[in-house]
């Protein structure tokens, strides 16, 4: 299978002058969405969330790809090494089935895994469904990029991203990315005092 | 050491007509139980639990083996690839000592680890003993089989299996196994609406 | 870079006659403390804690080393294989930056990881800061030694070590180390009944 690596680019266009510009990759991993059997709801859900909470100007690089480990790896490498996204959010492919390979692709191309992301996301989802323990989602770093695996369900996406996002801007500071600002009235992000500008 | 891979087979014999038949492997990993130095209580505890909660007909394939990584691996492979067990539950060998190698054997022959099982089991056990953090137990998938490591202590077995079992039938659906039904008055299992028959 | 592996040795000197003597390694991993750009506060914090809670006589083997994976590995091997420390506590180098490699060095030279330590420490720190999920700290075993990664912040060290220490003496029993006793009025350590002397 040859996947055309064509990203849909969108400039959030916010000219607030607060914080620095950030490139964010959003990968929907789904055989069915890729084939057009249903409309992708995961990717747009992530974009809606980011538009709602970010003060920093940002550019989204979105793509829908099938559940193929090699293709996910290629796509992650392109978004990290070429397009220089500081943050990449995947949705889908985190379960236990044969076709669920998003965390495997993520770990295989990353330098460091951050197991706290997966632990916290499972803990959050466990409040809603006991099958949350079946999710293998994780967070990991490649070069100057943070990659986070979110679940595929639009409802589960919002439940988890809301809580983990508090730690993301400071993580991007630490790995050499731009200084991201968020809207305080929408989300509380955390930085130690000496890391605040 | 040559371990005779002789399983004790028992047909639960329940003819309820509800759900599908399932083969379940139950491995007691213990040097002392293998040598006959004490009577295995872990395996029977798991069988009691399954008899109590399952509506589906089921066949147990039980065995007691010593804490030898290669033997545990062989046994897991036989139960998954040959006997086609959809679920395999191990008890024992999850601690930090040199002879505790059950999770290592499990991970080495599996395709995918499901870290949520270990996280939740440790969290449950932590309510009872602070040494719960010493357990390395996990869940993992090989082909169409789900493997779960339970602790060796009969008391700890029941404490953990009760809570994690809610997610097991749906996991087995997802990896291509039979549709397992449980007795609602004994345990609540969870499937998303669209996965229910 | 050639790091002089010179340990600062200190005999706790407590002659209580309760419990057995234990050698404990304390590694401060920090480029800046190594270069003398600031005074190490993490190592002394760990020593203070141990002096406060241990009844057993103990000898500390302290060292400050830079954030270099190979050097951390060498240091851990020296403390485990040569100096025969039963417990080694590292502070620092657990974050997501390029120079943070303490958990990687720990896992690479160990036989077994004990993921429950990292899970619990992150859970504890999450009560204080959302960025706790960025920490990659873990626990692991090499031979007869237990290695624990603590965070670098003195405040975070005390918050986490207090709670996880309850499980440490029994873990050291299990891996063939000395029988460590702690002061009951200061900390409650846990051993199953049949493991108590």
What digits encode the pLDDT tens for the residues B121-147?
999 999 999 999 999 999 999 999 999
Q: Does A167 touch chain C (CB under 8 A)?
A: yes
Q: How many A×B Cβ pairs under 8 Å?
A: 59
Q: Which residues of A touch C32 (CB under 8 A)?
A: none
Which residue of chain A is at minimal alpha-carbon distance from B143?
A: A98
Of the candidates A98, A104, A122, which has its C-beta nearest B116's C-beta?
A122
Q: Inter-chain contact A96–B115, Cβ cutoff 8 Å?
A: no
Q: Does A122 touch chain B (CB under 8 A)?
A: yes
Q: Round to the nearest angstrom and report the end-to-end CA distance of chain A.
A: 47
In order, the DSSP letters of A58-124 are EEEEEEEE-S-HHHHHHHHHIIIIIS--SEEEEES--SSSTT--HHHHHHHH-SEEEHHHHHHHHHH
The pLDDT of residue A9 is 81
Q: Please state at what angle helix B102-109 crosses helix B69-77, rounded to 10 degrees.
A: 50
Q: Inter-chain contact C134–A164, Cβ cutoff 8 Å?
A: no
Q: Does B170 touch chain A (CB under 8 A)?
A: yes
Band of the pLDDT at B28, cuts 50, 70, 90? very high
Q: Inter-chain contact B134–C170, Cβ cutoff 8 Å?
A: yes
- Give CATH for domain C15-192: 3.40.980.10
Average pLDDT over residues A132-138: 98
Average pLDDT over residues B15-23: 79
The pLDDT of residue C108 is 98
The minimum CA-CA distance between B135 and chain C, rounded to whole Å, is 7
Of the candidates C97, C131, C132, which has its C-beta nearest A175's C-beta?
C97
| A52-98 per-position pLDDT tens digit | 999 999 999 999 999 999 999 999 999 999 999 999 999 999 999 99
The pLDDT of residue B18 is 74
Domain residue ranges of chain B, discontinuous segments joined by +:
12-195
Q: Inter-chain contact C96–A117, Cβ cutoff 8 Å?
A: no
Q: Inter-chain contact B98–C164, Cβ cutoff 8 Å?
A: no
Residues near B3 by beta carbon (within 8 Å), at least 6 away in sequence? B65, B66, B68, B71, B74, B75
Which residue of chain A is at minimal alpha-carbon distance from C97?
A: A175
ipTM of the modeled complex = 0.93
The pLDDT of residue B10 is 78
Burial (CB count within 10 angstroms: exposed 0-12, middle 13-18, buried 19+), residue B4: exposed
Q: Inter-chain contact B96–C146, Cβ cutoff 8 Å?
A: yes
Of the candidates B95, B115, B130, which has its C-beta nearest C166's C-beta?
B130
For residue A3, pLDDT over 90 is answered with no
The minimum CA-CA distance between A2 and chain C, rounded to whole Å, is 34
Of the candidates C98, C100, C118, which has its C-beta nearest A115's C-beta?
C118
For residue B14, pLDDT over 60 is answered with no
Helix or strand run (H / E) with residue C101: none
Which residue of chain A is at minimal alpha-carbon distance from B119?
A: A119
Q: Please state at what angle helix A115-126 crosses helix C115-126, rounded to 10 degrees.
A: 70
Q: Inter-chain contact B190–A132, Cβ cutoff 8 Å?
A: no
Best of A86, A107, A110, A112 to substitute, by most chain C Cβ atoms within 10 angstroms, is A112
Q: Does C107 touch chain B (CB under 8 A)?
A: no
The pLDDT of residue B5 is 77
Best of B87, B111, B115 to substitute, by most chain A Cβ atoms within 10 angstroms, is B115
The pLDDT of residue A145 is 98
DSSP bridge pairs for A88 = A25, A147
CA-to-CA distance for A152 and B91, rounded, in angstroms? 33
Q: Inter-chain contact C96–A141, Cβ cutoff 8 Å?
A: yes
Instruction: Report the length, in residues, of chain A.
Output: 197
User: Which of C58, C38, C33 is closest to C47 using CA atoms?
Assistant: C58
Q: Inter-chain contact B171–A134, Cβ cutoff 8 Å?
A: yes
- The answer to whether B135 and B122 are in contact (CB under 8 A) is yes
- The one-digit pLDDT tens for each residue of chain C (197 residues) are 556 777 888 776 555 667 799 999 999 999 999 999 999 999 999 999 999 999 999 999 999 999 999 999 999 999 999 999 999 999 999 999 999 999 999 999 999 999 999 999 999 999 999 999 999 999 999 999 999 999 999 999 999 999 999 999 999 999 999 999 999 999 999 999 999 98
> What mean pLDDT value characterizes chain A?
94
Is A19-195 in CATH node 3.40.980.10? yes
Q: Inter-chain contact A112–C132, Cβ cutoff 8 Å?
A: no
For residue A10, pLDDT over 90 is answered with no
Neighbours of B, requiring at least 3 CB pairs below 8 Å, are A, C
For residue B24, pLDDT over 80 is answered with yes
CB atoms within 10 A of CB B127: 8
Question: B12-195: what fold?
Answer: Molybdenum Cofactor Biosythetic Enzyme; Chain A (3.40.980)
Band of the pLDDT at B7, cuts 50, 70, 90? confident
The pLDDT of residue A11 is 73
Which residue of chain C is at minimal alpha-carbon distance from A116?
A: C133
For residue B63, pLDDT over 80 is answered with yes
| A142-171 per-position pLDDT tens digit | 999 999 999 999 999 999 999 999 999 999
Average pLDDT over residues B97-104: 98
For residue B4, pLDDT over 80 is answered with no
Sign of the Cα pseudo-torsion (A36, A38, A39, A43, in order): negative
For residue A128, pLDDT over 90 is answered with yes
Q: Does A131 touch chain B (CB under 8 A)?
A: yes
The pLDDT of residue C17 is 62
The pLDDT of residue C16 is 60
Band of the pLDDT at B9, cuts 50, 70, 90? confident
């Amino acid at each position: 299978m040859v996947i055309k690596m064509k990203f849909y680019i969108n400039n959030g266009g916010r000219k607030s002058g607060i914080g620095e510009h950030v490139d964010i990759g959003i990968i929907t991993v789904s055989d069915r969405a890729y084939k057009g059997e249903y409309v992708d709801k995961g990717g747009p859900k992530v974009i809606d969330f980011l538009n709602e909470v970010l003060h920093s100007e940002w550019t989204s690089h979105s793509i829908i790809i099938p559940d193929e480990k090699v293709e996910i790896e290629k796509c992650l490498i392109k978004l990290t090494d070429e397009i220089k996204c500081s943050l990449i959010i995947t949705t889908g492919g985190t379960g236990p089935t044969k076709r669920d390979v998003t965390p495997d692709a993520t770990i295989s191309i990353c330098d460091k895994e951050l197991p706290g992301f997966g632990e916290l996301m499972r803990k959050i989802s466990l409040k809603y469904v006991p099958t949350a323990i079946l999710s293998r989602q994780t967070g990991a770093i490649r070069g100057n990029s943070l990659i986070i695996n979110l679940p595929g369900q639009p409802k589960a996406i919002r439940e988890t991203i809301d809580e983990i996002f508090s730690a993301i801007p400071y993580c991007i500071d630490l790995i050499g990315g731009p200084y991201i600002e968020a809207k305080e009235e929408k989300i509380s992000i955390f930085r130690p005092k000496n890391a605040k500008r």
